[in-house]
Structure 1
Amino acid sequence: MRYTRVSVGGRAVWGQVGEEDVELLSESPLDATRRQPHIERGPTVIGTVPRAGATWLPVVVPPVFYAVGMNYPRHIEHARAEVPTRPEVGYRANNALTGHGSPIVKPAGVEGRFEAEPELVAVIGRTLRHATYQEAQEGVFGWTIGNDVSARTWQHQDRTFWRSKNSDTFKPMGPWIETDVDALAQTTTLRVNGEVRASFATGDMVFDPFDFIVEMTRHVTLRPGDVLWMGAESTCQLEPGDTVDIEISGIGVLSNPVHSEGNPS
C-alpha cells in the first residue's frame, strides 16, 4: 500500500495512492497502530482527487525526527572519516520539511556547496522501547524518500547543523509511504535535470535501520509517525533552476525544483 498526505481545500488529508487517483481517508493509517486490537478499525474513504493534480505534503510531520550520518562506506571513504563502531543518530527540525513537487529554496546568504543527499527514510508505526531486532523490523510502518539538502559553508562555519541542514525547505520528503517493499534490496538514483549524478545499492549501509532502532530505543521512545533518515552514499551540487529527482526502486520518485530566495522562478 502507498499512503500519503495531500492538501485539500487548504487542509492536510491522508490518502491512499492509486494509479490515477488518491483516495482520501478519514484518518491517518498510523492511528490504527496506536489502538488495541479489539477496538481497531481502519480509515474509511471519504473522497478522491486526481493523482496528477495532487498537492503533495510531507508524508508525516513528526515532533522530532532522527537522521543518520556517515552510514555508507563510500561516503565515509570520500569524507576521510572514521568508520562508526556503533549506531548513533542526530536530529533534524520539522520546519525544514517540504513535500514532493514543492521548491527547495536556496537562501540568499548561501555560498559554495549547496548539495542534495538522497536518503531512505523509515516511518515508525509502533511505540518502541528496548526493542529487539525483530521488534524493530515489525515496528517500521513503511518507507519513504528524503533529500537531505545541505549548505556546506554554513555547516563548517557553525557549531551545529541548525541552519546548514534545518533551514526551511531543506528536507523534502515523500511522495508517499510504501508499506510493501524490501527497502534494503533496492537501488537509489539521484538525478539533476534528468542526468544521473549518483546511483548506489540502498542497503549498502554500515548499520541497517533496525540496528539503529534497537540502539535508539535503549534510551528514547519511538512512536508512530517518527521517522529515521538513513544517510546517503553520494551527494551532488544544486543550483537555482535545477530539478532534483531521487528515485528508490520499489518506492517511487521524490522530485523538487530549486529556487533562489526571493525569486520563485
Structure 2
Amino acid sequence: MRIVRASHDGRIVFGVVDETDVVVLAGDPLFAGFDTTGERIPLSQVQLLAPVIPRSKVVGIGRNYAAHAAELGNDVPESPLVFLKPNTSVIGPGDPIVLPPESTNVHFEGELALVVGRVSRRVAKADALDHVFGWTIANDVTARDLQQSDGQWWRAKGFDTFCPLGPGIETDLDVADVLVETRLDGETKQSGSTKDLIFDIPTLVEHVTAAMTLLPGDVILTGTPAGVGPMVAGQTVEVSIAGLGTLRNPVVQG
C-alpha cells in the first residue's frame, strides 16, 4: 500500500494511491487508520508533499555503509552513530533545497528512511519491524564544511530544507536488499544496496529506542552509500529506491 500526503484545491489530504487515483483517507493514517471518504482525486491533479511531518524528530544514522565511511576517511563505528535533524528541515518532493550562505560545500546523501508507527521505547530487535509504519526515501542534505569545522553535526544537518522526504510511504516492502541510487542532473553518483548496511534496521530501532522514545511519525534515516558529493544552485538531485520511486528536488541558492 502506498500512502501519500498531497495538496489539492487548497486543502491537504492523506490518501492511498490506487493506480492513477488518490483515494482520500478520513484523516492521518498514523492515527485514524485507513478509513476512506469515498473521494477519489486523479494523481495528476495533486501536488505531492512530504509524506509525513514528524511530530518531534528525524533520527539520522551516520557511517552505516563501510564504503561511505571510508570515502570520508572515517572508521566504521562500533555501534550506530546517531544524530538528530529538526522537523523543520523536512520538505517534500519538488521543493527546493536551499543552499545557506554559511556553507560552500553542501552534499547530497540518498537514503532509505523508515516512518515510526507506534510509541516505541526499548524495542527488542525481534519486535522492531512491528513498530515500523512504512518506508520512504530521504536525502540527508549535509553542509560538509560545517560538519568538519563545527566538530558536531546539528548545524551541518539541520538547516531548513535539509531533509527532503517522499514521494510516498510504502507499507509493504522487503527492505533487506533494495537498491539506493542518487543522480545529480541525471548522472548516477550513488548506487548501493541496503544489504550492505553495517547495522540492520532492527538493530537501529533497538539502539535508538534504548535511549529515546520514538513517536508515531518520527523518521529514522538509515545511512547513505558511498558516492556523496556537492550540489550547486541550478542542479537537480534525484534519489531512487526500488519499490519506492524517486524523490526529486531542485537546488537553489539562499
- TM-score tier by shorter-chain length is over 0.9
In the alignment, structure 2 segments of 5+ residues that lack a partner are none
Q: Unaligned stretches of 5+ in structure 1?
A: 33-40
**CA offset digits 1:3-43 (Å, max 9, x no partner):** 121123444321112332222211111115xxxxxxxx632
- Contact 1:71 / 1:206 at 8 angstroms: preserved in 2? yes
Cα separation, 2, equivalents of 1:150 and 1:10? 32
Deviation at 1:238, TM superposition (A): 1.1
2:35 to 39, 43, 52: 43
Q: For the residues of structure 2 that align with 1:109 and 1:218, how far apart are their CA atoms?
A: 35
After superposition, where does 1:191-206 map in structure 2 within 5 Å?
Answer: 191-206=183-198
CA distance in 2, matches of 1:92, 1:122: 14
Aligned to 2:74: 81
The answer to whether the Cα contact below 8 Å between 1:147 and 1:171 also exists between their aligned partners in 2 is yes
* Residue in structure 2 matched with residue 220 of structure 1 by the alignment: 212
CA distance in 1, matches of 2:3, 2:113: 14
Q: State the match for 1:110 in structure 2.
A: 103
* RMSD, aligned α-carbons: 1.7
Superposed CA deviations along residues 43-74 of structure 1, whole A, max 9, x for unmatched, are: 21352333223222211111112110011010
Q: Displacement of 1:171 after TM fit?
A: 0.8
Provide the identity percentage.
38
Is residue 8 from structure 1 mapped to residue 8 from structure 2 by the alignment?
yes
Aligned structure 1 segments of 4 or more residues deviating by more than 4 angstroms: none
- Give the structure 2 partner of residue 38 of structure 1: none
Corresponding residue of 2:222: 230
Residues 98-155 of structure 1 deviation map (CA, whole Å, 9 limit, x = unaligned): 00111111123431x2210001001111222221212101111110000011111222
Q: Between 51-60 and 117-126, report the one with greater CA deviation.
A: 51-60
- Following the alignment from structure 2 to structure 1, what is the Cα–Cα distance between the partners of residues 38 and 152? 44
Is 2:240 the partner of 1:244?
A: no
Q: Which residue of 2 aligns with 1:132?
A: 124
5 Å matches for 1:22-171?
Answer: 22-32=22-32, 42-62=34-54, 63-111=56-104, 113-171=105-163
Name the CA distance, whole Å, in 2 between partners of 1:222 and 1:103.
Answer: 28
Asked whether the 8 Å contact 1:59–1:177 carries over to 2, the reply is: yes
Aligned to 2:249: 256
What amino acid sits opposite 1:22 in the alignment? V
SS state at 1:61 partner: coil
CA distance in 2, matches of 1:88, 1:260: 30
Read off the aligned partner of 2:13 and give its amino acid letter: V
Residues 206-215 or 219-228, more deviating: 219-228
